[in-house]
Amino acid sequence: MILGVWAHPTREFPEGQDSVTDVRAWLGKLRDAGISIYLPFVSSSSGHVFDSPVLGEPQRDLLGPIVEQAAELDMEVHPIVGLGGVTPGFSDSQGFYVPMQREDEEMPSWSAHWGDPAWDENVEHIVDIGTGILEDYDCDGLHMDAVRYPNSAALNDHPCVCERCCEARQQWLGKPVPDAEDLANPAVSYLEVEMRNRFVSALAWDLTSECRTRGLYISLAARARYLKDAVVEGQDWSAWCRQGILDFVCPMSYNPCFDRFQRFVDEHLRLLDGTEVDYYPGVGRKSSLGTLSPADMIQQLQFVRDQGIEGACIFHAAALEDEDLRLLGEFSRESG
């Protein structure tokens, strides 16, 4: 069974513990536990840990030794790129998501720092970063995360009113900003979601093209709640799988509730039926939704295996302790 892991290199290799020897030792532990795909967050709003002509001087170059040591251990490395807090360098404030606000209403702070894919400049920025990684590092592909609009909880009542979204909306709505009556109209909701999907899909296609040109993989950390979140936010990953955008998809189905996790897997299998895309459900050892015990993590992985699914992806590497690694190793040997 294939096991992947989302990873935060800055946590796993703090300064002073980031030598080649340190990298080799940690990746070796993961590999001994059966993990063969490493999906690192190599940048955030606070900086990046790889050489990039687009982003400038890195905090450190952790990606280089990770790629080199992973290759010796027969591990794949797929660096993460995307919107939201995943990629820094959006310096032009007019390219951000601008929520439609009501009087005396305060929006969450993150909403002011989300690059809007309606802006060609933002798409080019991310594609240039991803292309630079592919050209400078011998990695196995790119992994997309936060390739979407902000959370549906904000979008449903606060559609973007940046200049580009208003221009696009003018054509099909006849005005740049919807009012309350518009937002209650199913036809307007449909066209609003279709507009977001068009912008986000263009970014996904561009990144896919860069990977496919080089014979490398493209994958996605997908929103687990398909209709409630993914489609509304412009990330129709089921359609992307049918259109050939993705090689493998990792829905972020991590949930401490076993029944809820099962329902996610059942739904995602249905959504992917008839596609040739590899499906690796997300299993959350420790996430914002809660924490699994090592045994509960293995229970979810066993369920995945018993459904005939070829792999899974664990969130996240820094949460894995000795007992987790021991149990993962036993599970991997049993699963073949």
80-82 and 311-315 strand pairing: unpaired
Among residues 158, 135, 170, 133, which one has the least CA distance to residue 43? 133
Predicted pLDDT of residue 304? 98
Give the pLDDT band of residue 103 (cuts 50, 70, 90): low
* Minimum mean pLDDT range among 90-104, 125-139, 156-170: 90-104
Domains defined for the chain, CATH in brackets: 2-335 (3.20.20.80)
pLDDT digits over 9-57, tens only?
999 999 999 999 999 999 999 999 999 999 999 998 789 999 999 999 9
Instruction: Cite the beta strand spans of the chain per DSSP E.
Output: 2-7, 35-40, 43-44, 47-48, 76-77, 80-82, 141-145, 217-222, 248-251, 278-279, 282-284, 286-287, 290-291, 311-315
Give the pLDDT band of residue 97 (cuts 50, 70, 90): confident
Among residues 118, 70, 78, which one has the least CA distance to residue 94? 118
For residue 110, pLDDT over 90 is answered with no
**193: amino acid identity, one letter:** V
- pLDDT: which is higher, 202 or 112: 202
* Contact call for residues 313 and 281 (beta carbons, < 8 A): yes
pLDDT digits over 24-33, tens only?
999 999 999 9
Average pLDDT of the residues of the chain? 94
Q: List, in order, residues 6 or more apart from 201 with CB less than 8 Å away.
A: 234, 236, 240, 245
Give the pLDDT band of residue 96 (cuts 50, 70, 90): confident
Give the pLDDT band of residue 94 (cuts 50, 70, 90): low
pLDDT digits over 166-197, tens only?
999 999 999 999 999 999 999 999 999 999 99
pLDDT digits over 227-286, tens only?
999 999 999 999 999 999 999 999 999 999 999 999 999 999 999 999 999 999 999 999
